[in-house]
Amino acid sequence: MTPLAAGPNTGVHGVELGVVIFFFLVVTFGGFVAVRWRRGESMKSLDEWGLGGRGFGSVITWFLLGGDLYTAYTFVAVPAAMFATGAVSGFFAVPYTIVVYPLIFIFMPRLWSVSHRNGYVTPADFVRGRYGSRTLALAVAITGIVATMPYIALQLVGIQAVLDTMGLGGSGNWFLRDLPLIIAFAVLAAYTYSSGLRAPALIAFVKDTLIYVVIVVAIVWVAINIGFGDMFDAAQAQMKSTPNGSFIPSSQTFWAYGTLAFGSALALFMYPHSVTGVLSAKNRNVIRRNAAVLPTYSLMLGMLALLGFAAIYEKTSVVGLDGKPNGQLVVPHFFDQIFPSWFAGVAFAAIAIGALVPAAIMSIAAANLFTRNVYRELFVPDASPAHEAAVSKIVSLVVKFGALVFVLGMDRQNAINFQLLGGVWILQTILSIVAGLYTRWLHRWALLIGWAAAMAYGTWAAYQQSSPTTSHFGSSLAKFPGTDTKIYIAVTALLVNVIVSVVLTALFRIGRVPAGADETAPGDYYSDAASPSVSSAAAEVQTGAESAAT
Amino acid sequence: MSSDPVQPAPAAVRPLPRSATAIAGLLLLVPLVALAIVPVYATDGPRLWGFPFFYWYQFLWVFLASGFTYGAHRVILHARRGQQ
């Protein structure tokens, strides 16, 4: 395999490591110079630091959203799931990332417009303005922060898988073992601090290019050396002998497959980092055009998923440096197995950089939520834009440090459990956000109670699920109450959410409970920046908000 | 997009005509339905280049969904231009 390695898993793989370090230096340079790229008036506001000046066009948005949504953890986890249990837990990612785009085409331009007109930076800002409820906005903000934190931690798990494959991380000394990860994250934190959203936007170009090259080469390799028919046959045979394995969903798992795809699709754009990516777009057309071209990433994700099956054919070992099997290692090991070491290095660099881009955007999004909807709301109501940016920059450091401690200090399984819960939780904010884009009928207190009920149910249901490796949080599927059909827990919880919210809204309306003030105007929801009268009106709103704040 | 009847929109920005919203909505609905019917496409045959139907059907919809979404985008652009 590599000249320096005595066996597949011993010693440091020098060539691979050298290539990874080279690409890491390139993106580090890019991350720091990004502060000068498309520079606005000053970095001292969240519009500039946290949303890149709200001026990204179609191409940058395409790379940014692609880099943001298709994370290193996805690259590692989806083929790992295909390798272990097949289609239901792995391939659902393909329909999931297809149906998400027609959905965002429908409601994201509305969120963009209302945010643009009213100077909203986070989804919770919108909820605050629409329902006049600080408590509901706080619930949405905290759900966003709590769901994002383990997602950042999982990006580190992706980097760890690559480091482990290159022979780093086996030594007994914890400090030396974790040093590469700590350095990578410290550098990431530094350029995110100085360049804000411009850093991941610039680095995303490198990340996506590398990923595309690697996946295409890998799939061509599979086509030539294995053949797709043989690959699928090997996977089919393997899945037959695997408990809970599925080559193609059966009548017991149709609902599981469908609800995982649609539930995850609805949840994806409730994550604060997705909203940040969307709000940084220049106008509504950028969002719509991107909804049409972003599925190209799903094509890549689908091919990547198939590498899990190719690894079954190749009988790839998933035993890590610590001697224990770890499914997450399947894709890095597969690359190590089939590619010459320099190209395996390119593949590993793609995964590692693929972790840095989303980690940066997620920490910016979580920091914006904290600053706007917790700090400003509860502690310093008259914070100036410069003050907000300063707080956000520091919080972005804290968030990343927290994720690092999470991964180094706790079992990896914890990060995966919390990420599973995060998906269930974040979907429960959809009612306040998306229904709010269309109607004010739902009552703010009903939404809050519905949210709380759904969060409690979802957490409890996920806690009950056991798997061969873990006694709780073992699956994101649970039996739909009163039936034997397993479906995605987040969808059942959303149903609880909708029922509670609708029933209570009806009661509150009969009881004439005050519904709160709505600061948005109907025209806010379909305004286009392209129309000159709108941009001047938006500028007016913006200045109005700023002068009110200072 | 649909409009709120309570208050008129600001001058230059009007909601799209209902016909354009309806056509765009239908175009967007097609891929959602195509992927929601799991029992219909969860079969092994017919295979294509070794791919079971289940797999190549979903790969095909990556392209088709992209096309339908782009179609909806064009419909809305066209309706917007017609307004000005």
CATH number at residue A298: 1.20.1730.10
**A243 cis-preceded (ω within 30 degrees of 0):** no
Give the pLDDT confidence score for residue A250 in this predicted structure: 82
Question: Cα dihedral sign for A475, A479, A485, A488?
Answer: negative
Instruction: Give A1's pLDDT tier (boundaries 50, 70, 90).
Output: very low
CB of A291 less than 8 A from some CB of B? yes
Q: What percent of chain A clears pLDDT 70, i.e. is strictly above it?
A: 90
Inform me whether the pLDDT recorded for A168 exceeds 80: no
CB contact under 8 A, B32 and A523: no
User: How many separate domains does chain A show?
Assistant: 1
Inform me whether the pLDDT recorded for A528 exceeds 90: no
Domain assignment present for residue A449? The answer is yes
pLDDT, tens only, A434-471: 888 888 888 888 989 999 999 999 888 888 877 777 77
Domain assignment present for residue B24? The answer is yes
How far is the C-alpha of A117 from the C-alpha of A128, rounded, in Å?
15
CB contact under 8 A, B73 and A292: yes
CB of A295 less than 8 A from some CB of B? yes
pLDDT, tens only, A416-427: 777 778 889 999
From A532's Cα to the closest Cα of chain B, the distance in A is 9
Question: For chain B, what is the mean pLDDT?
Answer: 79
CB contact under 8 A, A523 and B28: no
CB of B78 less than 8 A from some CB of A? no
- Summarize the confidence of residues A379-401 as an average pLDDT: 82
A447 Cβ contact list (under 8 Å, min separation 6): A131, A136, A431, A432, A501
From A313's Cα to the closest Cα of chain B, the distance in A is 14
Domain assignment present for residue B69? The answer is yes
From B52's Cα to the closest Cα of chain A, the distance in A is 8
**pTM for this prediction:** 0.82
| Chain A residues touching B4 at Cβ < 8 A | 522, 525
How far is the C-alpha of A231 from the C-alpha of A525, rounded, in Å?
49
Which ipTM was obtained for this model?
Answer: 0.81
CB contact under 8 A, A249 and B58: no
From B19's Cα to the closest Cα of chain A, the distance in A is 16
Question: Do A508 and A133 meet the contact criterion of CB atoms below 8 Å apart?
Answer: no
Size of interface A-B (CB pairs under 8 A): 143
- Summarize the confidence of residues B20-45 as an average pLDDT: 86
Domain range for B37 is: 18-83
Give the pLDDT confidence score for residue A452 in this predicted structure: 92
| Chain A residues touching B68 at Cβ < 8 A | 102
CB of A438 less than 8 A from some CB of B? yes
- Amino acid identity of residue B59, one-letter, is F
Instruction: Give A170's pLDDT tier (boundaries 50, 70, 90).
Output: low
Instruction: Give A40's pLDDT tier (boundaries 50, 70, 90).
Output: low
For chain A positions 216-235, those within 8 Å of chain B (CB to CB) are 227-232
CB contact under 8 A, B12 and A232: no
Q: What percent of chain A clears pLDDT 90, i.e. is strictly above it?
A: 5
Inform me whether the pLDDT recorded for B8 exceeds 60: no
For residue A169, the cross-strand partners are none
From A97's Cα to the closest Cα of chain B, the distance in A is 9
pLDDT, tens only, A76-108: 888 888 888 887 878 888 898 898 888 888 888
Question: Do A479 and A259 meet the contact criterion of CB atoms below 8 Å apart?
Answer: no
| Chain B residues touching A521 at Cβ < 8 A | 7, 10
User: How many separate domains does chain B show?
Assistant: 1
| Chain B residues touching A261 at Cβ < 8 A | 35
User: Shortest CB distance from A105 goes to which of B8, B69, B77?
Assistant: B69
Domain assignment present for residue B2? The answer is no
Give the pLDDT confidence score for residue B41 in this predicted structure: 86
Domain assignment present for residue A484? The answer is yes
CB contact under 8 A, A292 and B70: yes
Domain range for A65 is: 52-549
pLDDT, tens only, A288-347: 888 888 888 888 888 888 888 888 887 777 777 777 777 788 888 888 888 888 888 888
From A64's Cα to the closest Cα of chain B, the distance in A is 18
| Chain B residues touching A308 at Cβ < 8 A | none
Give the pLDDT confidence score for residue A161 in this predicted structure: 82
Domain assignment present for residue A133? The answer is yes
CB contact under 8 A, A99 and B35: yes
How far is the C-alpha of A360 from the C-alpha of A393, rounded, in Å?
11
How far is the C-alpha of A156 from the C-alpha of A508, rounded, in Å?
46
CB of A297 less than 8 A from some CB of B? no
Domain assignment present for residue B35? The answer is yes
pLDDT, tens only, A248-278: 888 788 888 888 889 888 888 888 888 887 8
User: Shortest CB distance from A533 goes to which of B12, B25, B77?
Assistant: B12
Domain assignment present for residue B8? The answer is no
User: Shortest CB distance from A534 goes to which of B13, B55, B62?
Assistant: B13
Domain assignment present for residue A19? The answer is no
| Chain B residues touching A302 at Cβ < 8 A | 58-59, 62
Inform me whether the pLDDT recorded for A499 exceeds 90: yes
- pLDDT: which is higher, A170 or A56: A56
| Chain A residues touching B65 at Cβ < 8 A | 98-99, 101-102, 295
The most confident of the ranges A69-73, A391-395, A469-473 is A391-395
CB contact under 8 A, B35 and A95: yes
Look at residues A117, A208, A221 and name the one whose alpha carbon lies nearest to residue A519.
A117
Domain assignment present for residue B77? The answer is yes
| Residue whose token pair is 């850093």 | A199
Instruction: Give A10's pLDDT tier (boundaries 50, 70, 90).
Output: low
How far is the C-alpha of A498 from the C-alpha of A266, rounded, in Å?
14
- pLDDT: which is higher, B43 or A50: B43
pLDDT, tens only, A201-228: 778 888 888 888 888 898 898 888 888 8
Domain assignment present for residue A317? The answer is yes
How far is the C-alpha of A339 from the C-alpha of A13, rounded, in Å?
13
Inform me whether the pLDDT recorded for B16 exceeds 60: yes
CB contact under 8 A, A254 and B39: yes
CB of B33 less than 8 A from some CB of A? no
For residue A86, the cross-strand partners are A246
How far is the C-alpha of A59 from the C-alpha of A51, rounded, in Å?
16
Q: Which residue of B has its CA nearest to A229?
A: B50
